[in-house]
Amino acid sequence: MRQVEDEADILRYARELDSRKGEPDPELVQHTTGTREAATTTSGSIAYGEQPFWLIAMKGNFRARRALPPDPTPTAGNEFVSYTVQVVVVEIASGRATDFGGGHKYPDLAAGGRVITDYERPHSS
């Protein structure tokens, strides 16, 4: 997967990641700019650092292979986990993703700075 070239490239990167995680048409893609510490704090964890980062959050129906621990021998049908929120932290200088996460709670992006909506799926009426 290509790195993020600049802020205008965030949507392309998010859509690629979404497709790899089983969601070709996410409901929402947003991002904010801040330090790595601020970016990770908004998603419930802390990674220290003052380098500038983008925190990208996506809402949809995602699937990923279950990490092996805590259950090193998953049973049939237990190899994948489903979640509704995908988060990625991208270092601005390199365009490289440093942190990923998935869950069911959308992060408070506004706590990290100004929120940019990159994509919102049109609602059918």
Q: Provide the domain limits for residue 50.
A: 7-106
Task: Establish if 117 belongs to a structural domain.
Answer: no
Average pLDDT, the chain: 83
Has residue 118 been placed in a domain? no
What's the pLDDT at 32?
92
- Split into its structural domains, the chain has a count of 1
Q: Which residue has the higher pLDDT, 47 or 56?
A: 56
The answer to whether residue 2 sits within a structural domain is no
Which of 48, 57, 47, 58 is CA-nearest to residue 113?
A: 57
For 84, phi then psi, to 5°, come to -110, -10
Tell whether 62 is covered by a domain.
yes
Whether the predicted pLDDT of 64 surpasses 80: yes
Query: Is 123 part of any domain?
Result: no
What percent of the chain is predicted at pLDDT more than 90? Answer: 26
pLDDT at position 119, please? Answer: 95
pLDDT per residue as tens digits for the range 81-121:
899 999 998 888 898 888 888 899 999 888 878 999 999 99
